[in-house]
Amino acid sequence: MEEKMPAVETAEKEVVSKNFIEQEIDKDLAEGVYDHVQTRFPPEPNGYLHIGHAKSILLNSGLAKKYNGKFNLRFDDTNPTKEKVEFVESIKADVQWLGADYEDRLFFASDYFEQMYECAVFLIKKGKAFVCDLTADEIREYRGDFKTPGKESPYRNRSVEENLKLFEEMKEGKYRDGEKVLRAKIDMASPNINMRDPVIYRVAHMSHHNTGDKWCIYPMYDFAHPIEDAIEHITHSICTLEFEDHRPLYDWVVRECEFENPPRQIEFAKLYLTNVVTGKRYIKKLVEDGIVDGWDDPRLVSIAALRRRGYTPESIRMFVDLVGVAKANSSVDYALLEYCIREDLKLKKSRMMAILDPVKLVIDNYPEDQMEEVEVPNNLENPELGSRMVPFGRELYIEREDFMETPPRKYFRMFPGNEVRLMGAYFATCTSCEKDADGNVTVVHCTYDPETRGGSSADGRKVKGTIHWVAAKTAVKAECRLYENIVDEEKGKLNEDGSLNLNPNSLTVLTECYMEPELGKAQAYDSFQFVRNGYFCADCKDSRPDHLVFNRIVSLKSSFKIQK
């Protein structure tokens, strides 16, 4: 299937606005608003990170590096209902793999629960927060909508003393979940619904992965996040566009809590890839239904999945750089990501011989017990990678598609009477084939010319076809997994009922693959170019010395081209 190019217009827009965040930082430094730059990546530990998060990680860490500043990794762990240590560990691994160095600055929102509680008490004393007994549904009803102003809670004018007493009792566990909340007292008529007395604390009797059972009240994200930034002396809180409407509340919290030199929030466009699954609830269901084998299944675009499939940090960085930093949301074609991994690997990786759909080739005039080694260059585009010796013998495996009994025009590979080059070895002329009872070819026969060792003829004759091969006697058996998009690209991402429209051919497992012996040494994450079949990576989960498993990272060719 041809891969589509992203709209050139979109790419141009992104290039134009690429440095708008840096321009804002330059202005702040020039005007003395800040004397340093400190950024952070603040994930919620409720799932695995995906390619969109990679953009945020690299943007925030890249800005800190450019301005000789500091970069923090901080977990916004204010919602213990969905958080797990598993997600914390996976996120740390992803950030480190991408090369974003947070040094010793690993923090948790839960590290600051005491300070957040003190900030809430401070707001109550200022008359800027109150304990409310309305239910969640009533709060929603009182809030109004874009056309209708909200109405004040009947509990809004409680005295400071009563609010302090009730909030302390919430902390002591005297109320059930949902029975009371603490709300900021702002403006129920605000055109920005986020400012209509938002909830800033709720009762939740549950254990937290970091603080255990110490707390039974937890801060809401919109209250906690600006306080975390301020405590850590973050200068620029870089976040995605969906938080633009939350910025007035962010500014209100740091202002009313009276933090000195508070951080500034700047929003940028999210990274959207066409026809991929990034939603945590969708991935969770795919995992639970056994459609994928985990959050790191190579058909997904979680960072762990891309790493397992064989993508490199360099390719992800190239991709993020090409996409740029935009102010308006847009979608980028998955083909651009594939372009980046091809560009990164093409000069780094050896071209190895692996047969994925084998048929045996017998060289009838080659000595039966003889084995020899032929020299094969590792990468024709990069001579610095040198060459290797590959075993060659009478019986070989070749790709089934490299033989046809009655070929069409312009087919230059093996067919009776045709001479081809066995890559790096000899010229060979196809003579016949054997078939089983169903008419399937089981063995192809040929003869070779001993005078053509190395793949060239002393008499100057030319052959148009070159095929790769693996010696049967020394071949290493392996499993290869070929991936397509998990979403059916023809029909679109979602069905009418909101479920994912899955591609039934997203995974093809080939169990009878044969490879040259060198590939038998492959360790987890080792990657290679398999001649004519694509780039492959040794699977980190399932591959072992007695059962090799390779994931196809990407095919060799694409219709995608970068616009110069």
pLDDT band at 564 (very low <50, low <70, confident <90, very high): low
| C-alpha separations of 223 from 6, 145, 220, 454, 513 in Å | 38, 22, 5, 71, 56
Which domains, from first to last, does the chain contain?
125-219 (3.90.800.10), 359-470 (2.40.240.10), 476-554 (2.40.240.10)
Measured N-to-C along each axis, helices 85-97 and 51-66 cross at an angle, to the nearest 10 degrees, of: 60
HSE (CB half, 13 Å, CA atoms) of 259?
Answer: 24
Residue-level pLDDT at 561:
65
Can you say how many angstroms the Cα of residue 93 is from the centroid of all Cα atoms in its chain?
13
In the predicted structure, residue 13 carries a pLDDT above the cut 50: no
| C-alpha separations of 561 from 274, 317, 323 in Å | 17, 18, 14
Continuous H helices in 129-212: 136-143, 160-172
**Mean pLDDT confidence for 323-339:** 88
- For the record, the structure tokens of 336 come out as 């651009």
Which residues have C-beta within 8 Å of that of residue 27, sequence separation ≥ 6? none
E strand or H helix at 288:
helix 280-288
Least confident of 96-105, 312-321, 490-499, 523-532: 490-499
The answer to whether the CB of 52 falls within 8 A of the CB of 272 is yes
**Residue 458, class by beta-carbon neighbours within 10 Å (0-12 exposed, 13-18 middle, 19+ buried)?**
exposed
pTM: 0.88
Residue 71 and residue 457: Cα distance in Å, rounded? 61
The answer to whether the CB of 195 falls within 8 A of the CB of 248 is yes
Least confident of 54-58, 81-85, 161-165, 188-192: 81-85
Residue-level pLDDT at 492:
65
